[in-house]
Structure 1
């Protein structure tokens, strides 16, 4: 079963996308009992995150907020409109707010992003390691951080820089993986105590 191409999704029909998939404008009004993203025109439920994931996300947000330079702003869980059928919600984004109307903004345009951060959960490994960085790189987001919890319950931050010619990410040359402390110059100078992010 599919839905006619130009019809709005409803709470009863969202699971039956048109042949070409839903567009964001067809689904943005939905009030569903779960958090979701639009992936290739299909509504995909976002899994329940573990406590450590949310704690790391929130503390990373606070660390970036404390270190950010003008003109950047930082926010968590805000959708990015890659195209009309893909609106991922990175865990944290750093973006240039100039010429954006916050009172009308639904999704941040990808060309405004300086950094996208994903904190990897067991149910998001494939997305955070493959699909999402490919989307961000294709739209020229300059920096991508993938935050993972290792077997010793310590954080590792994989830092990637955009290769503008190929629109793919490459590991940051001098520090591809950060342990203990994250120290980088891009997208602005920042030093973050990674052990403090996850410490209880």
Structure 2
């Protein structure tokens, strides 16, 4: 007789779905679990390109941003009661609460959200997350995809009237923008592997 391991209780959502605070209360929840539309979303293994671009972009933004800002990766943002995604990178504004016990930030703390498209999250990154970030009022959003082995950055700004993002440019080799602060990035440097 085969023994089937029992599933943890949190695998089964409550009738109304999960809420943002559940991510802090559920024991043994896999790392980097997101909450989108009241459902738990688990992250698959990341590709080398994805991790390389995130880590290099993190360093570049740290070097460019004003001292009162902070850039973080793999932190969730509470956008609404049933929405707590985890952007690949966020840039926090000067009034964001920083502390050792913080487990997530509020939408109003974030001035830029960045998503690097992965095969398992492409639909969410391109369609659902931009809508959620815009509705929550995050003023700037970047969507990064790989084209011919290089990062291409789609830059969006929030239209305060429609609460939707409008594109301000698609950047292939260099990204220059004055918002949310002066940024000048050589995008070709984000994906260069070290020679061995």
Q: Verify same fold: TM over 0.5.
A: yes
In the TM superposition, 1:49-198 aligns within 5 A as 49-98=46-95, 100-150=97-147, 152-172=148-168, 176-198=169-191
Counterpart CA distance in 2 for 1:115 and 1:138 is 14
SS of residue paired to 1:108:
strand
Q: Please state how far the C-alpha of 1:34 moved relative to its aligned partner.
A: 4.9
Say whether the 8 Å CA contact 1:180–1:194 is kept in structure 2.
yes
Structure 2: runs of 5+ lacking an equivalent: 1-6
Q: Secondary structure at the match of 1:134?
A: helix
Q: Distance in 1 between matches of 2:189 and 2:9?
A: 44
RMSD: 1.5
Tell me the TM-score normalized by structure 1.
0.88
| Kept after mapping to 2: 8 A contact 1:81/1:87 | yes
Rounded Cα–Cα distance in structure 1 between residues aligned with 2:105 and 2:62? 17
SS in 1 for 2:66: coil
| Change in 2 beyond 3 A, CA 1:168/1:33 | closer
Separation in structure 2 between the aligned mates of residue 99 and residue 131 of structure 1, nearest angstrom = 25
> How far apart, in 2, do the equivalents of 1:177 and 1:96 lie?
24
Q: Name whichever of 95-104 and 67-76 sits farther off.
A: 95-104
Check if 1:23 corresponds to 2:19. yes
Displacement, 1:41? 1.6
Q: Provide Cα deviations, 1:87-112, integer angstroms capped at 9, x if missing partner.
A: 10000000125361513322111011
Choose between structure 1 and 2: higher strand proportion: 2
Matches within 5 A, 1:10-49: 12-29=8-25, 30-49=27-46
* TM-score relative to the length of structure 2: 0.90
Q: Which runs of 5+ in 1 are unaligned?
A: 1-10
